[in-house]
Amino acid sequence: MSKCNDNVLGDIRVLDLTCGIGEYAAKLYAQIGTEVIHVEPVTGDPLRQKGPFCKDQVDENGGLEFLYCNLGKKSLALDLSDGAGKQIFKKLCKTADVLIESFPPGYMDRLGLGYETLEKINSKLVYTAITPFGQTGPYSGYPFSDLTLMALGGFLFLAGNDDNKPVRAFGEQAFQMGASYAAIGSMIALYHARHTGEGQFIDVSMQSCVATALENSIQWYDLQGVNRRNVGVEAGLGIYRCKDGYVCIVAAFGKTRAMWETFLGWIEKDGAKDIKELKSEKWFEPTYRKTDEARETFKRIFEDYSRQRTKLYLYEESQKNRAVVFPVSNGKDIFEDKQFNYRKIFKNIYHPAIDTEVCFPTTGFEMSGTDVEITVPAPTRGQHSAEILKELGYSDNDIEGLLIGGCIYG
């Protein structure tokens, strides 16, 4: 099948009012060909000031997170608190299919730009609001951070071992979960609007999104009264050192003999020493493998073997021998990974504002009939302000006056 190069959702317009939180939602739309207009303050999206920066040079166009989250978008720098700015925004909303924002509950209403106002202007508009706890409820007005949302959503507790303190996953996982669900919910509502002519309000609670990622821990408590946590530190299960970093192994699971015997058979054949110490019946009991004695013994024997071998060697040889060993990949490993490079997961995009190419991951999927590829870098602040206003019917003189008055930037 030959691939079509037309934009998949090129007839859809998304207004992205997220600033620092939720920008990934609209980025997902831009990635599949949707026109996304990032409506940012005239002073610039705060995410532009967040490092790290390209080449370690502080530049509002060089923040790596901003560059990634805003690939393929347009920028309209607009003062929504200004009367003229509000009129421009309302005109823009007449042309939009989806609006995504991440302001505190009630902020857009206080500006006179909330959903009840905008739906009267465009009845098909899908309005999606991403907030920490949702628009309603006892926590709706509480301060927050990604860490507090991970804690209140249950993810921190789940990640800890036994009685040890909770462990936080790296990065802003709660924010990303909220953005992903916002994109999905918006698409469902957009499909509904296309068929019925009716838009709707999508209320995204990042805390609720986190709670959906807890696997079966809620059911454990509901049905058994047990607060489930991680499986704990157990010999033959977890992270171990190797010659050039770390590997994650699963040599044991419950009382399953096959996994343990297969794993030991492979490393013994490959030169591991003192394997006899790991072959007695007690090693098939999870309770023993969780003891300090078992963990220390296994660590000593396996790392004596693994520290002489690279993570790639251990991974590839384990696959040949039907054992479970995976490399713990760092940035360099990912960049050089044969599988990623075979599937061309990375793409260099030139950004003229910083005069350099930046490497980005593309989509996590391939389509047999559609060519989905972003080629346009993140916009400079207000790069498309004049273009968008002209489309809305503003003259060059009008635009010049708005620029001088500080209502827009570009």
Domains and CATH numbers, the chain: 13-216+344-409 (3.40.50.10540), 237-335 (3.30.1540.10)
Residue 22 vs residues 31, 129, 180: alpha-carbon distances, Å: 15, 9, 8
Contact 51, 40 (CB under 8 A): no
Residue 276 vs residues 218, 273, 301, 404: alpha-carbon distances, Å: 41, 8, 10, 81
Helix (H, G, I), strand (E, B) or coil at 70: coil
Contact 399, 381 (CB under 8 A): no
Q: In sequence order, what are the beta bridge partners of 200?
A: 126
- What are 202-232's pLDDT values in tens digits? 999 999 999 999 988 889 889 999 888 876 6
In the structure encoding, which two tokens stand for residue 9, read together?
A: 């959702």
pLDDT band at 85 (very low <50, low <70, confident <90, very high): very high
Helix (H, G, I), strand (E, B) or coil at 405: helix
pLDDT for residue 2: 47
pLDDT band at 165 (very low <50, low <70, confident <90, very high): confident
Cβ neighbours of residue 281 closer than 8 Å, sequence gap 6 or more: none
pLDDT for residue 230: 74
The single-letter DSSP state of residue 53 is B
pTM of the prediction?
0.92
Contact 150, 210 (CB under 8 A): yes
pLDDT for residue 1: 42
pLDDT at 164 over 90: no
Helix (H, G, I), strand (E, B) or coil at 72: coil
410 CA to centre of own chain: 29
- What are 232-259's pLDDT values in tens digits? 679 999 999 999 999 999 999 889 899 9
Kindly state the average pLDDT of the residues 136-160.
93
**Strand order from edge to edge, sheet including 245-250:** 237-242, 245-250, 325-327
